[in-house]
Copies of this chain bind each other. A is one copy, B any other.
C-alpha cells in the first residue's frame, strides 16, 4: 500500500489520535512473548512508571501521523537513559521480542506500527540537550529533544538547526527517517547534518557511529556508519543520541512571492536562480501549483493569481540580500514571472508566506470531512515540469483532488491528496495514482521518496527503485546487524514470514 501519509503533523498530538485505531490487542499476553517475567525485568530496569500495558498508551504508540492503520505494541517502555535502553534491548533480544523505537510519532509512512507486536521504546523521557559547543557549531541531543525545542534552547547563542520537515519532530527521529523539508537546498538534509550517532543495536550493545564523543567536521576513518544509520528507520538500531551541525542565524532574511504563466516557467526560473545564487547565497524556492494557490486563496482570503507560484526565501547579510533579490527578480521577469512581492520584517514575511504555510489546511478545506496525505517523489530538476504536468493530467483524468506543493529546488514535490478514507473505491484510485506517480519519478531517474522514508508504504516501490542486487545488499546489511529481525520488523524491506 502506498497510502502512507496524512501529513498529520497538523493534526492533534498523536496521544489523542485514537480515532482510526483498529485491531487493538486487549493486553500483553504470554502468546505475544511479553510474559510476566519479561515485564518484571522491564520494571526492574526503568521502574513501575516506565512500563505501560494500558490500551490507550499502546494505541497512541501504534500509529504515526499517516493513514496506515494503528498497530499497537504489546507493551510500551519509557527508558530514561541509554543504559536503560541497552538493558531493555538485551531483555528483548533474549526473548526474541520486536523492538520499535518511538520519538514523537510524527512520521508519515507507518514507521512505528508494531506489525509483529513487541515492545515500543518511547524515548520521550530522554530529553536533554547535551554538549552544546557554540564555537564548534555542534550540539548533541537525546531522542526526546524536538527540532523546535532545540532551536528554543539555542535562541541566545546566535545559532540554529535549520532542517525543517514541518512537524516538530524528534531530531533523532528525523535522523532515523533522513528527514529534510524547506531548508534543504540551503543547508542540506539530515544526511549532511548528522555528525555522530549513539545507537543501541539489536543485542543491546551500544555503538557510536563516529566513535564515542567524536565531532570532527569531516572524517575518512573507516566505513561511514553514521550515514548507514541515518535513514535506517529504526530497523538497524535505536538512536539514543545525535550530534548535529549548527549554523549561524543569518543577519537578515527576505521572503518573496512571484506568479508564473506555467510550471515550466516557474521551474526554469528556479534553476536559473539556483545557478546564479548558489555561490552567493542561501536561497530555497517553494512551489505551489494553480490548484494549491486557489485553495490557499479561498482558505486564507488571499488574492494571489491562480497560476503556478514560487515562494522564495533568501538568507544572508543585509547588503548581500539586496543584490540577491535583484538577481532573482531579473531572472523571474525573464521567465515571464510577475513582479516580486517581497518582505523583510518577520511579520510581513509570515503574511507573505501564509499561503505556503497554510497549504495543508487549505488542501483539507477543499473537501471538508476528508483526510489528506502526501506523496514525496523527487526527480532531477530538469524533469520537474514534465512530471508535474503529467501528474496534474493524471489527477484530472482520475477525478482526484491533489494540489501540489514542492521543495522545488531539490526536485521534490508533494501531491497533497484529499480523500474520503471511508470510500474504498476512491482509496483504491488514489493508491493506483500514487503508484503511477512513483513509477513516473523512477522513469525520470528519480526516487519514490525524497524525504518521508519507505516505512510500510513504499517497500514494493523500493524494490523497483533499487533493483534486485541493491535490495539484496540492503537485506544483507539488515541480516548482519539484526540477525533475528527484531528491530522494527516489516519496515523498509519486505520479508517473508520466518
Chain A interfacial positions (CB closer than 8 Å to B): 133, 135-138, 158, 177-180, 184, 188-189, 191-192, 201, 205-225, 227-228, 230-232, 236, 247-251, 271, 274-276, 278-282, 315-317, 319-320, 323-324, 327, 376, 378-382, 410-412, 441-442, 445-454, 458, 462, 465-467, 469-470, 473-474, 476-481, 492-493
Contact of A136 among B212, B250, B316, B380 (CB under 8 A): B380
Nearest CB in chain B: distance from A450 CB, A: 5
A446-B213 Cα distance, complex, nearest whole Å:
9
Chain B residues positioned under 8 Å from A230 (CB to CB): 224
**Interface contact A220-B454, CB-CB below 8 Å:** yes
A218-B222 Cα distance, complex, nearest whole Å:
24
Q: A248-B278, A320-B320, A323-B319 are in contact. Are A223 and B214 (CB under 8 A)?
A: no
**Interface contact A208-B280, CB-CB below 8 Å:** no
**Interface contact A467-B323, CB-CB below 8 Å:** no
A466-B199 Cα distance, complex, nearest whole Å:
13
**Interface contact B180-A218, CB-CB below 8 Å:** yes
**Interface contact A135-B221, CB-CB below 8 Å:** no
A439-B126 Cα distance, complex, nearest whole Å:
32
A446-B214 Cα distance, complex, nearest whole Å:
6
Q: Which partner residue on chain B sits nearest A453 by CB separation? A: B220
Q: A135-B382, A227-B228 are in contact. Are A467 and B222 (CB under 8 A)?
A: no
Max chain B C-beta neighbours (<10 A), residue from A179, A327, A411, A465: A465
Q: Can you name 7 extra interface pairs (CB under 8 A) apart from A207-B469, A209-B470, A222-B492?
A: A191-B224, A205-B469, A208-B470, A216-B378, A216-B445, A225-B473, A251-B280
Chain B residues positioned under 8 Å from A225 (CB to CB): 470, 473-474
A324-B279 Cα distance, complex, nearest whole Å:
13
- Top 9 closest A-B pairs, CB basis? A227-B227, A250-B279, A136-B380, A216-B378, A135-B382, A219-B447, A178-B220, A280-B316, A480-B480
Max chain B C-beta neighbours (<10 A), residue from A188, A236, A379, A473: A473
Q: A224-B228, A279-B250, A280-B317 are in contact. Are A476 and B470 (CB under 8 A)?
A: no
Contact of A465 among B133, B214, B473 (CB under 8 A): B214
A230-B210 Cα distance, complex, nearest whole Å:
15
A22-B207 Cα distance, complex, nearest whole Å:
40
**Interface contact A217-B470, CB-CB below 8 Å:** no
A248-B462 Cα distance, complex, nearest whole Å:
32
**Interface contact B316-A279, CB-CB below 8 Å:** yes
Q: Which partner residue on chain B sits nearest A376 by CB separation? A: B220
A477-B477 Cα distance, complex, nearest whole Å:
7
**Interface contact A212-B467, CB-CB below 8 Å:** yes
Chain B residues positioned under 8 Å from A466 (CB to CB): 208, 211, 221-222
Q: A135-B381, A480-B477 are in contact. Are A216 and B450 (CB under 8 A)?
A: yes
**Interface contact B450-A222, CB-CB below 8 Å:** no
**Interface contact A137-B381, CB-CB below 8 Å:** yes
Q: Which partner residue on chain B sits nearest A223 by CB separation? A: B474
A323-B251 Cα distance, complex, nearest whole Å:
13
Contact of A218 among B248, B327, B451 (CB under 8 A): B451
Max chain B C-beta neighbours (<10 A), residue from A201, A211, A218, A282: A218
Nearest CB in chain B: distance from A373 CB, A: 16
**Interface contact A451-B220, CB-CB below 8 Å:** yes
A442-B227 Cα distance, complex, nearest whole Å:
21
Nearest CB in chain B: distance from A439 CB, A: 13
**Interface contact B217-A378, CB-CB below 8 Å:** yes
Chain B residues positioned under 8 Å from A227 (CB to CB): 191, 224, 227-228
Max chain B C-beta neighbours (<10 A), residue from A224, A231, A316: A224
Q: A323-B319, A450-B218, A462-B221 are in contact. Are A279 and B207 (CB under 8 A)?
A: no
Q: Which partner residue on chain B sits nearest A477 by CB separation? A: B223
Contact of A271 among B135, B378, B454, B462 (CB under 8 A): B135
Chain B residues positioned under 8 Å from A441 (CB to CB): 216
A135-B268 Cα distance, complex, nearest whole Å:
9
Nearest CB in chain B: distance from A428 CB, A: 24
Chain B residues positioned under 8 Å from A493 (CB to CB): 222
